[in-house]
Structure 1
């Protein structure tokens, strides 16, 4: 008969109880170890990876993970950007200790919110998180701006600049060419207009530039006796006086015909005629008119100045554009303006005064300001239903900075002596027409 089995005996029963207790203790220890492992964080753990970004969030792109050894360790992600390259490091770390001389900020959260850290080795962001598995995989940047988008913007800016440079250069070249063409065209028109207004057609066809300049110039001699024949235009304009439209104390204003060709075509102009003894008045007004910077749409158009005849019958002419509607005073006495027409007419008048007083022309060229000193309705001509022009610069003065106070005072006294007498009924008419 075989011997009895040990655990069936009393001593065997005791051994069985000890084995059961050992199994229970081992199971309990394993359970405790498992419970401790559940309290640690499961984190992404890679030394260096390239991030993958989608819109406003980036991912570490790390395929490895690990449980942290200690329950107080957290998941950490470090973003490094240097020389236009980005690398991500993920690991477990004790937040009470520095990592690469940096402390992990704001780690008591389940979201890995990146925080910028000052560094001399490029751009560094760092974040920490707990209580969620692999929470350092999803990298969130504040203000919806991440390093990847910053890198992309740095790459896009030079590419965009290089792409836009050729169109910008072409646009600048087109603008410069257009400006030069417009300027050249204006100069040609100005020369053609000057020749057309100041010369007979026969002289234009012959192309006598010297005679044209002499014809458009104004004789600026100190006295009538000092005006030599050599200073006169080579040929006077072919003007035929038609009708006197006004007479004042110092001058008469005539409507005249300026012949344009041998076929009998003509242009209507206004001629303000000064007698020989009023040479100084003619000279003062012609000096104002011959200033090229005076030209403006709201200033009476000046054609030329001439002296005609000899001896006591010598006369001095100012030839200007003719406006059949007359001066503003007479026009308003015959017409009722609408509010819109009144605004436009007043605007043109203000524009002319502003041009006189300005230190620069409309093109930006410096000019000497001019004070009209006699603006009134009889010295404003109606150009059309919505425009006016200033005329009668008999007492106007150029505000030249080189002049002294005495010069201004003497100029004013000399000019005032040329004003028409208020006792004569036609005193204002020539100034308004001329």
Structure 2
């Protein structure tokens, strides 16, 4: 009997160990060159501008593997991508050790068999090159006209089709109930998944991405372009990354898939997809569209009153507090720091509140190992908004709170930008970026270090701010955010509560920003 028990124990023991322990992966930035995860191992290959290829080996945790059985982050257009590819595995420990994602071969010079031996085209070849495209275009045009005329006759003859249809009518059903809106689809997904994840299931994301029509360009940046798109009559924002920015696209999509990230004061994520048109790969990130644009654009063309200033400042602080907050639980959320907070990365909603966007440089705190998940891409934050410790390179990169304090410093500069455009008694200033009078339009790290760290200069405060009680209280908050000693700066949650406690000079005893505070 004891022999049977011992034998059973020996047989079951490996399975118990497998259940208790996680998946071990090769990790090129970890102690002992290994990391442990409950999700996937991955390997990636990157070719930099000099043509040098780097290989990275890391862990992809379960809480960011969405959907769990086939994570969107493990999808990469490998056939045509010559800058960044990724492969995931989970079959056994150290399975990524043998992965070798292959980049597409760059073809600078292709063979041209139609050339004559001396490299020039003959008369016949030139004639064919000219005549063939023209003939094909004419044939395609005639077929198109014929097809359209027949199709139009059928539409007009059908009694259920109206004669005229609106701009987005092609996206709407002819009969039956109206399709769900994006808001409804996202809300339903949050309910059915207990709030886990941000955005929609992978297959739905890809379905929506392929139905979007791009309308107009609304912004450009170092990553690529932002377009206004239309999907079933709804406006969406489409951020299209250039192929060399695939790491930034990958990272931002990864952060947006974080459990319980969705919040009214964080830009709403809808979908991420890569679209291959046969020549190059487009990397799409689809989010909510806000007609007012960024806070930078809004302040350039408009002034705000004291009520508007407090409401905007409180909404930004609320979004930042949610980002920084760790939510413990089965469907918990890790603490996240933005690292590139500025007025151009904050969107103004139609109700006068704001939403924080552009999470491509964000870092997450792993509470289990007390480590910081730093993105693989080589981008750095905006120099003008960098905290003193970042400029001096004295920040402890292994301490997550240091990243949050950098966000708080940048938030203080954003308060100053809004304060300049606050109209009090008809007095306000023209819009300017922080340190506009100290550094050029595109300052270097050394120029910013001299101003912020050596000279310890901070943006100038107009005297009239001291005469307005609300502006003076906001001034005190921004000066606390600017402290050169990072540990002396308040937390985002403390800032949120302080702004929420500001009483307006009209004698209101009830706080008019309860809708923002409750978020």
Common fold: TM-score over 0.5: no
TM bucket (normalised to shorter chain) is: 0.3 to 0.5
| TM-score, with length taken from structure 2 | 0.34
Rg larger in structure: 1
| TM-score, with length taken from structure 1 | 0.41
Of Structure 1 and Structure 2, which has the larger fraction of its residues in strand?
1
